[in-house]
Amino acid sequence: MTWTFTSKVEVYAGAAEPWLLQDPVRNTVPLTILRGMRIGLWGDDLLLAWLERDGETVAAACQTPPRFLLLPAIPVDTVRDLATQLIEAERTIPGVSGPLPLAEAFAAAWWRPVAERRFERLYRLDALVPPPFPSGGAARTATEDDLELLVKWAGEFQGEAAGAAPAPADLTPLVASRTGRRELVLWEAGGRPVAFAGVSSPIGGMSRVGPVYTPPEHRRKGYGAAVSHAVTAKARAEGADEVLLFTDLANLTSNSVYQAIGYRPVADYASITFR
Per-residue pLDDT at 88 exceeds 50: yes
In this predicted model, which residue has the larger pLDDT, 162 or 98?
98
Measured CA to CA in angstroms, residue 199 lies from 137, 172, 181, 250 at distances of: 20, 17, 10, 22
Q: What is the pLDDT of residue 132?
A: 78
Task: Sort strands 56-63 and 69-70 into parallel, antiparallel or unpaired.
Answer: antiparallel
pLDDT per position as a tens digit, 102-114 = 999 999 999 999 9
- How many angstroms separate the CA atoms of 123 and 142, rounded? 25
Q: What is the pLDDT of residue 166?
A: 53
pLDDT per position as a tens digit, 165-179 = 555 578 999 999 999
Q: What is the pLDDT of residue 206?
A: 97
Q: What is the pLDDT of residue 164?
A: 47
In this structure, the number of other CB atoms found within 10 A of the CB of residue 149 comes to 15
What's 124-267's CATH class?
alpha beta
What average pLDDT does range 231-245 have in this prediction? Answer: 97
Residue 7 burial (10 A CB sphere; 0-12, 13-18, 19+):
exposed
Contacts of residue 184, Cβ cutoff 8 Å, sequence gap at least 6? 141, 142, 146, 150, 175, 178, 196, 197, 198
pLDDT per position as a tens digit, 215-235 = 999 999 999 999 999 999 999
Report the percent of the chain where pLDDT is more than 90: 88
Q: What is the DSSP string of 115-130?
A: EEEEEEEEEEESS---
pLDDT per position as a tens digit, 118-165 = 999 999 999 999 987 767 899 999 999 999 999 999 999 988 875 445
Burial state string for 9-48 with b = 16 or more CB within 10 A and e = fewer than 16: beebbebbbebbeeebbbbbbbbbbbbbbeeeebeeebbb
In this predicted model, which residue has the larger pLDDT, 159 or 53?
53
- How many angstroms separate the CA atoms of 142 and 181, rounded? 10
> Do 247 and 77 form a contact (C-beta atoms < 8 A)?
no
- pLDDT, mean over the chain: 94
Per-residue pLDDT at 39 exceeds 60: yes
Report the length, in residues, of the chain.
275
Per-residue pLDDT at 76 exceeds 50: yes
Q: What is the pLDDT of residue 162?
A: 55
